[in-house]
Chain A
Amino acid sequence: MSVEQLLAVLIDGIIYSAWLFVAAVGLTLIYGVMKIVNVTHGSFYALGAYAAASITGALLARGMPPSLSYAVLLGSALLVTLVVAPLIERGILRFMYAKDEVVILLITYALFLILEDAIKLIWGVSPYFIAQPYGLLGSFDVLDLTYPYYNLILVGVAILCGGGLAWMLNHTRTGKLLVAVIHDTEVSRAMGINVERMYLFTFTFGSMLAAVGGAFTAPTVSVVPGLGVEVIVLSFAVVVIGGLGSLPGAALGAVIVGLVRSATIHYLPQVELFVIYLVMAMVLAFRPRGLFSLAEARKI
C-alpha cells in the first residue's frame, strides 16, 4: 500500500464523488421540499448531456473558439431545463401532489420512460461526442499519474453547486422560504408562502443541477440513450446513504461512495460491482433513514 497508490485512491475518489454529488444533489433538494422521489432526475441528466453535446458540437463546428465551450455546456443545461422542467411540473406534477408518495414515484417513473423515448425521437440512437473541452486545458501529473485539468472543473462545479445551494438556503429570502416549506408545508402555506411557486422553483432548480451534471459529463463519455439510467440508480444510493432531503447528507454520501469505490478498484477490483450497495446496506442497517436524517416530530 504505497503513498502513490493512496494518493491515487484519494484523487480518483474525489473526482468520482464530485461527479456523483452534482448528479445527486438536485434529487435530495426536490425530495426535501416536495417529498417526491423524482425518477425523472435521470432524464434531466441525460437531457443536459444531449443538449450540451449537440449545441456545443454545433457551435464548435461553426468556428466558436473552444475556450467558450465551458460556458456553452452550462448554458445548454440551463436552457433545456428551463424549457422542460416547468412544463413537467406545471403540466403534470402539480395535479398529483395530493396523491400518495408511491403514486407520484410511479408517475415520475412513467415520465422518465416517456422522456427516454422523447430523447430518442429528437436525437436518435447514434452516439454524440463533444470531447474537445476534456483535453483542451491540458493535464497535470501527480507523481506518476496524469490527470486532465478538466477533472478539476468537475470538482469545482460540485463545490459551486453544493456551496451555492447551502448559501442560497441559508442566506437568501427564497432559501429561507424553502427551508420553511421543507419544515412544514401546511404551516408555510398558512403563513402566506406561495408553496406552489416554491415547488416550481425547486423542481426547476433541482432538475437544472442534474442537467449541469450531465452537461459537464458529456465531454468525457459517449452520449447515448440510456445515459440517465445508471445515474439515477447511483444517485438514489448516494442520497439514501446521506439521508433523503439532506444537503450535507448528499455531500457525505457522495464522498463515501466515491472513496470506497476508488479504494475497491485499486485494492480489490473483484468486489467493485456491489461495493456501493454494500455500503448502502450497512448504513441503512444502522441508520435506516440515512446518515443525516433528522428527528421527525410525529404528526397527529
Chain B
Amino acid sequence: MHGLKKVVAAAVAAALVPAFAAAQEAPPLKIGVVSFLSGAAAGPFGVPARNAAEIMVEMLNAAKVPAPYATKGFGGAALQMQLVDEAGPATTQVTEFRNLVQRDNVDVVIGYISSGNCLAIAPVAEELKKLTVFFDCGTPRIFEEKSYKYVFRTASTATMDSVGAALYVMDMKKGKINSIAGVNQNYAWGQDSWSDFEASMKKLAPGVKVGTSQMPKLFAGQYNAEISTILAAKADVVHSSFWDGDLEAFILQAGPRGLFKRSTVVLTTGETAMYKLAEHIPDGVVIGARGPYGPYAPDSELNRWFSKTFEDRYNVPPNYAAYQMAQAILGTKAAWEKAQAANGGKRPDTDQVIAAFERLTFDSPGGRIEMAIGAGHQAITETVYGVSKKVKGKMTVANVKRYPASAVNPPDGVKAADWIAGGFKK
C-alpha cells in the first residue's frame, strides 16, 4: 500500500509541477504597436514596420533572437502584440492611443511614423503616464520644445538626415555648390527637414543661393509645376525628404523631365523606393536611409539574423522602417531587462523602466544606439549616405560615407537650429 501511495503521490506531484511552473511564469506583457496599415504610407513604411514587429515579437517569445537579446520576451515575460492602424487624422490617433491605454491596458506603446502624429501623441502619453516609444517619426521638435517623462524615441531626428545629407553633397561635389533647391511635404517633417538642410548648406557653403523651396501638400501626387520650378532653378543640389507614395510619384514624374540629369538630387528616404523603382532611378542619385539601415547596416550577427529572417519570410529585404521598428522593440527590451535586473529580477514598474531607458546604450541591427539627447529620451546614431549605382541591372549603393553620431546630431540640450547656426560645435 505504501508503495502505491508513493506512486500516487509522485504522479500527483509530477502533474502539479508543470502547473506550478506555469503559475510561476511571468504573466504576458501587452504592447500596442501603431503603424500605417492603410493609406499611402502603408506599403513603403507601415507594412514593413508591422512585419518587423511581428517577427520580433514571435522570435523574442521563442527566445530565438541572437545575443544580447536571447532571453524570452521582455525579461522572460511573453509579449502580446496589439496592432493599430496609424491612418487617419491626428485626432483619430489620439483616440486610438487612449483606447490602447485605457481600454486595452497595454503595458507599453511602440509606434508612429508620422511626425504630426508623434507631436499629437506625446502630451497624451504624458497625461496618461504610459511608456511610449516612437520608432520612426523624425521631427526634432518633440524633445526640443518640451521635455517628456514617459516618451522615448529610438530613431534619430530629421536633423541627422539633413546635416548628413549636407555633409555628403559637400564631400561629393568637393565643396563646389553654388545653389540648392528643395521639394518637401508641407508639414512638420518636410518643413524641419528642409530648414535644417538649408541652414546646414548655408553654414557649409557660405553664399549658397536657394533657387526655390517647394512645399506641396502631403499626398498631393501631382508635381509637374513643382518640378518645372526646380528645373528652372538649375540648382546644383536638389533636396527632398519626400516619403511614401509621394516619393515614388516624384521619382516617376521627375525622371522623364530630366531632373536627375540636371541636378544632384538627394532623397533622404530614398532607400524605401530604391529597389521597387530601380529602373526609374538613374545612377548618381544620393540615397538616404535615415541612418545605418538597409544597405548601410553594419555587418553584425544581429543584422545578418534580422535581414535573413525578414527576407526569408517576406521575400524582400527589410527597409529602414522595418529596421527602426526592430530597433524600438529591442531598445524597450534592453531598458525593461535592465530595470528588471535592478529590481532583483522582479517585474519593474514604469518608473523603473523609464530610469533604465534614460541614457541607455543598446545594440540593434543598425548598430549601436545611444539615448544621448533630449535628456536621455532621444536616440542618436551614426548616419550613412551613398549614391545609386546599378550593377548588372541590380540596384546598389556606391561611394558610401559614414558620419559619426556626434557629427550629425546636436549635443544634449542644444536645439538643432542653434547647433547648426553655431557651426556644428560638439
Contacts and interface: CB of A to CB of B under 8 A. Distances in A.
A226 interface: yes
B255 A135 contact: yes
A295 B44 CA distance: 50
A4 B87 CA distance: 41
Interface in B225-263: 225-226, 228-229, 231-232, 244-245, 248-249, 252-253, 255-258
B232 A4 contact: yes
A5 B43 contact: no
Interface string A80-116: 0000000000000000000000000000000000001
A248 to B, nearest CB: 23
Interface string B327-364: 00000000000000000000000000000000000000
A224 B40 contact: yes
B147 interface: no
B221 A5 contact: no
A289 interface: no
Contact of A131 (B46, B231, B280): B280
Contacts, number: 129
A224 B42 contact: yes
A273 B217 contact: yes
Contacts of B162: none
Contact of B225 (A126, A127, A262): A262
A68 B121 CA distance: 49
Contact of A225 (B39, B248, B277, B280): B39
A265 B225 contact: yes
A55 interface: no
Contacts of A262: 225
A266 B212 CA distance: 9
A221 B39 contact: no
A145 B230 CA distance: 10
B252 A265 contact: no
A200 B73 CA distance: 58
Given A225-B38, A226-B87, A134 B217 contact: no
Nearest to A4: B232
A39 B95 CA distance: 25
Nearest to B44: A127
Contacts of A296: none
Contacts of A261: 225
Q: How large is the interface on A (under 10, 10 to 19, 20 to 34, 35 or more residues)?
A: 35 or more
Given A221-B249, A226-B40, A148 B231 contact: no
B81 to A, nearest CB: 18
Interface string B172-202: 0000000000000010000000000000000
Contacts of B229: 8, 265-266, 269
B402 interface: no
B39 A145 contact: no
Contacts of A147: 224, 257
Given A139-B256, A221-B252, A224-B245, A12 B224 contact: yes
Contact of A16 (B43, B213, B225, B252): B225
B84 interface: no
Given A127-B43, A224-B245, A8 B219 contact: no
A102 B211 CA distance: 48
Nearest to A229: B219
A266 B226 CA distance: 8
Contacts of A216: none
B225 A148 contact: no
Interface in A121-165: 125-127, 129, 131, 134-135, 139, 144-148, 150-151
Interface in A250-272: 261-262, 265-266, 269-270, 272
A86 B245 CA distance: 31
B277 A145 contact: no
A188 interface: no
A222 B252 contact: yes
A139 to B, nearest CB: 6
Interface string A170-196: 000000000000000000000000000
Most buried by A among B38, B222, B226, B228: B228
Interface string A232-257: 00000000000000000000000000
B37 A125 contact: yes
B249 A12 contact: no
Most buried by A among B37, B87, B252, B258: B252
B277 A265 contact: no
Contacts of A131: 252, 280
Given A16-B222, A225-B39, A220 B252 contact: yes
B322 to A, nearest CB: 14
Given A12-B225, A151-B224, A269 B219 contact: no
A139 B257 contact: yes
A125 B249 contact: no
B214 interface: yes
Given A129-B252, A273-B186, A8 B228 contact: yes
A269 B226 CA distance: 9
B276 interface: yes
B249 A144 contact: no
Contacts of B224: 12, 15-16, 147, 151
Among all A-B residue pairs, the 9 with the closest Cβ atoms: A222-B248, A12-B225, A125-B42, A222-B245, A265-B225, A126-B43, A221-B249, A226-B39, A224-B245
24 contacts: A8-B225, A8-B232, A19-B222, A116-B38, A125-B38, A125-B42, A125-B43, A127-B44, A127-B245, A129-B277, A134-B256, A146-B258, A148-B256, A221-B245, A222-B248, A222-B252, A226-B38, A229-B219, A265-B216, A265-B226, A269-B212, A272-B215, A272-B217, A273-B186
Interface of A: 4-5, 8-9, 11-13, 15-16, 19, 116, 120, 125-127, 129, 131, 134-135, 139, 144-148, 150-151, 217, 219-222, 224-227, 229-230, 261-262, 265-266, 269-270, 272-273
